[in-house]
């Protein structure tokens, strides 16, 4: 009799447990539906907030670091070593949009340091050395003369921060028009622009008058943030003084602002190519002196991938 009673109680407990589990699942579904509805309302309110004129601030970028140390690890070529890598990319912005005018400020910063210390070689460099070194900042002011058109003035400065600060450094200042054909796309065309170039080697780097074109597209797709910026200067004096830079950044949120980030930068600049070749030639002196006529202007490329954080 006791055995039958025990079995009955076990069956009853199992049935109760199953019933409770199903009820919990149903409650979870109800709560999830309610949460989704509230999130949709919150997203709609955020869109209304974003639509209001005024200052808007934000930033997203990539941060990453890795450190390793090996002692007597004979299976590799350098059994005793210490290495490290630190990477930081930031894309901040501050934008003001009023009924009659706007003021957009953006920046792109990409810095990284690497080191490889061979402990068995006392003559090697055991310090962190710069690897990536990019700094761009842009300020655009426009007075609206039509729905999608504004008279505008632009100031853009770009250089390196860690090494060779302002050597070279570029400052573009110009006037023209800004066109906003669709939401999130800004196209700047300034036929009157002066490209100031700051550098120690004045024989290669020259300032000149020309046209400036900037195109920027930035948008969020749910958890995905995307920004693409093309900046080009076309010199009226010499095509060798023209240059362009195109930077694309993507950040995908995984959890509470933390996600994955990728950045691709492309640049064409003949003055920088000749200056780099000149530095190499100045060290060896084994070939003809570099000039705009005998130096190939290879496309400059950088990529960065790592953990990202959206502010």
Rounded to 5 degrees, what angle do the CA atoms 244, 89, 93 make? 75
**pLDDT < 70: residue spans in the chain:** 1-19, 43, 46-53, 282-287, 309-311
In the prediction, which pLDDT does 244 show? 94
d(CA 255, CA 119): 39
For residue 159, the model assigns a pLDDT of: 92
Model pLDDT, residue 303: 85
Architecture of domain 54-310: Beta Barrel (2.40)
For residue 79, the 8-state DSSP code is: S
Candidates 141, 161, 162, 163; CA nearest to 151 is 141
- The model's pTM: 0.73
Structure confidence at residue 47 (pLDDT): 65
pLDDT of residue 260: 84
Structure tokens at 303: 């990529």
Burial classification of residue 254, based on how many CB atoms lie within 10 Å of its CB (0-12 exposed, 13-18 middle, 19 or more buried): exposed
Q: The tokens 């059994």 sit on which residue?
A: 79
- Token look-up 């994955």 returns 260
């Amino acid at each position: 009799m006791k055995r039958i009673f025990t079995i009955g109680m076990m069956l009853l407990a199992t049935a109760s447990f199953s019933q409770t589990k199903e009820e919990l699942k149903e409650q979870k579904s109800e709560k999830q539906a309610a949460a989704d509805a509230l999130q949709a309302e919150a997203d709609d309110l955020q869109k209304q907030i974003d639509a209001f004129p005024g200052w808007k601030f934000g930033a997203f970028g990539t941060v990453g670091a890795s450190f390793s140390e090996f002692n007597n690890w004979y299976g590799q070529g350098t059994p005793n070593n210490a290495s490290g890598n630190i990477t930081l990319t930031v894309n901040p912005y501050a934008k003001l949009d009023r009924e009659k005018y706007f003021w957009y400020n953006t920046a792109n910063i990409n810095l990284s340091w690497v080191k490889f210390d061979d402990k068995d070689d006392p003559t090697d460099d055991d310090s962190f050395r710069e690897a990536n070194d990019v700094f761009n900042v842009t300020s655009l002011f426009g007075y609206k003369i039509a729905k999608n058109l504004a008279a505008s003035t632009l100031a853009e400065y770009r250089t390196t921060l860690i090494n060779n600060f302002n050597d070279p450094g570029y400052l573009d200042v110009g006037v023209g028009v800004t066109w906003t054909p669709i939401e999130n796309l800004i196209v700047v065309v300034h036929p009157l622009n002066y490209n100031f170039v700051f550098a120690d080697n004045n024989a290669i780097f020259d300032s000149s008058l020309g046209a400036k074109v900037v195109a920027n597209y930035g948008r969020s797709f749910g958890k995905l943030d995307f920004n693409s910026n093309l900046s080009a200067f076309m010199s009226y004096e010499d095509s060798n003084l023209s240059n362009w830079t195109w930077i694309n950044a993507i950040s995908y949120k995984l959890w509470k602002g933390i996600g994955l980030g990728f950045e691709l930068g492309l640049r064409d600049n003949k003055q920088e190519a000749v200056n780099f070749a000149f530095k190499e030639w100045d060290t060896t002196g084994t070939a003809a002196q570099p000039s705009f006529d005998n130096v190939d202007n290879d496309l400059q490329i950088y990529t960065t991938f790592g953990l990202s954080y959206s502010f």
